[in-house]
Structure 1
């Protein structure tokens, strides 16, 4: 019901009748005297009486077209509504006074309005907004030596710091506010700071300090008859002694606290006599106003219901559309996933067929290599040996001085070279060292030949294989190493390569690594070349598996495991 007292200022004649001769006397007083009285009533928690006086002053200022005093009245009304926690209404009054203060370029009241708005946000729990307004107005009041306003802002900032748990900063700010309160001769503000300091030290369990501040706050409130502040100080002492488990003092302070509340109630009743008169005189106007408000409320209610139903239907339609769209997307995603799985299965099948085809080609190549190598070695090699024998007979029959003798000797040397080339080609095709001595000596021979070129330094490490591999397996491993060394020479720009051949319990492991430029595995997998396909086919033929580890600038390591078949 307190909101209705805001309307009382608009009925100046009725207020004058209620207050009678006392109000007639007060109307003759100066504006400043009435503001002081209203502030006094506000400090004594007589908010309704203070509100009536401020509204009276506002209407008088409006009749006199006194902009400054209208601003001062709005500030007082906003302050009372702030204490009554009518924050929305209080903000409206503060905003009105800011607009009017801007019209007369009064920075002081502009900043007071902003400070008031900050206070309403603090009451509402919007501490960030409150902090923003306080921080922006504080420098102005300090610069203008308006100590009371500066002290009030600092007190509120201290409260925000306390809420955030920044207790030391809250103490520091409260002490600064207390200094400004003394400079402004504002005992109520000083008492408020003392209560804040008492509360902070109680929370920090600094009980002696807390009690000192609460006692000083109580003394100030009692000397100035600030009943609410007096009650707040006593309540702080109750909490303090309860924390210390001194229940005798708790009971004593609680009795004093009840006594103060009774005084507030009794003095409030005297104020209520005036309030009841005011309510009686304005009842008919309020009733009509309530009827109009009720009609407007019903209209708004009907529009609100219509709007809610419309929004509900629209939201429901959007939900249905969204569900349908999501279902369609899920079906599409499932179809794409199935298509991807089918494509992968087809790719795997094609890869298996390709490996099988390559295995057949490789087997054919090995058979052809063996046949050509044998033909070169046995047939062509034999023929060349017979030709060499005949050349020797002819050469011996000729005199060394004969010109034909020199030509036959030259032909004999060329024939020796041809025989050596045939033997070399035959060995390369059939890997003669491999056939005679096995895989490890063949790799040693390959290592030496490559290293002798000076293009690549090759090292070999191996342990005894003990004939765990068949001749076919050794041949395939040898071809794999040849392929890998060839790739290193062609593509890697490596300086060194390392071959490791070791036997485990269940498999033979081959590792070939280099210090070259490496390559992008993803790019290579997308466009598989013949060399990599051959490698896969050879490893698959041996029922083995392999792994490639490489990256740009990081060299390449290829590891191959071939299972051992135990008889």
Structure 2
């Protein structure tokens, strides 16, 4: 029973994958001992989790299994819970007659067994169906009975919502009935809006309170009492302002933290770039002898000078943006980062890559003149191979930083290219699943999503010890969902609350730039799933 409660808690925290994993574990444990009751409980929880994530087809499968196990175990109340969930699925599919049939079965059982709470829940579902069918009188009657039950057991938070729904029913009914009798149901709607506001305000539930005040404003507007309507609008706006102020304070705190981590990210990128440059220069020095030292030294000084100048420019931009609006600060940093990536990639490819190519030509010319019997021939060939390796590394680093495939062909080909290059290493089996329309994302969105995937794959290779990784890119209503999951060692998600890692901060910053949401689901030994939702405009 403790596992079921924990699953409910995880679902309330939107940790759906963890909830599913926990209930699948409970189901397997119950199956080993033939405990049909807990097999049914586990499948009910699994169906509820799928319903929360709107995966109705999976929920339907779990519901049918739950009913089967409940019947085998003779656990009637679990069967009725599963049947209620079946009604929810039918209602979502707009199969209202089927939904009412399942709700009615559950209603009869809960009435017979005097289960007040679950009866109230089922009546609310039945009222929702009647509302969809525009049977206002039936919907109101069911909602009123449901409200009485919630009041009897002290569920005043739900009671406030029921009162609001009844007020909405009366208000909409009045609208459709206004051609016959003007303002026929406004008084009833007003009574229930006032009841809803009373309970919501006393229990500090801002959303029902706000919506009830807006409903009262509409009622008085229909009565042509505009002064009273305006008063209710002012009161609802006060609630909105309080919520907005609280959200702004939270955002400012988050932006300050992002500003700090963004500075650390810039420094880390600069250090990483310097290390890569020094490594390449070191290999070049061994191969090209002392004649190229002057060129390398000039290159190093040039890079440091440009980096210092860019650092000053970025700091000045960040200071100016913070004075205007702290929330917008991170965008300038990320844009500067992308510009610097492209510039360094071009320099590596065109300048240092060109130098290495010239050196290779000279080496080839010298190689033809060295006799096979010459004892230095093998060393020369080794140096030539190291030169090829250095040139290849320059191309790879330039390719990774510039995202050439992305710039030429778009996000999907770039991800396919990344998948191929990663899989060819033999270190990780990478799978890519894409279900989005062409030209759905802007160039900036494609670039940021590609950088996000790069960072996630880098973290997996460094830390997860995974053998397989799945990347899913799906189009939803009004958003694009990116899911990256691996079968690695996982970690404790609580560590992220105090983590100061540059990679994670970079991910959060890019998601914030796209006005998206970011969720991490992991556990020790259970792999890691990262889900990111980015808002888009659907055609």
What TM-score do you get using the length of structure 2 for normalisation? 0.39
What TM-score do you get using the length of structure 1 for normalisation? 0.37
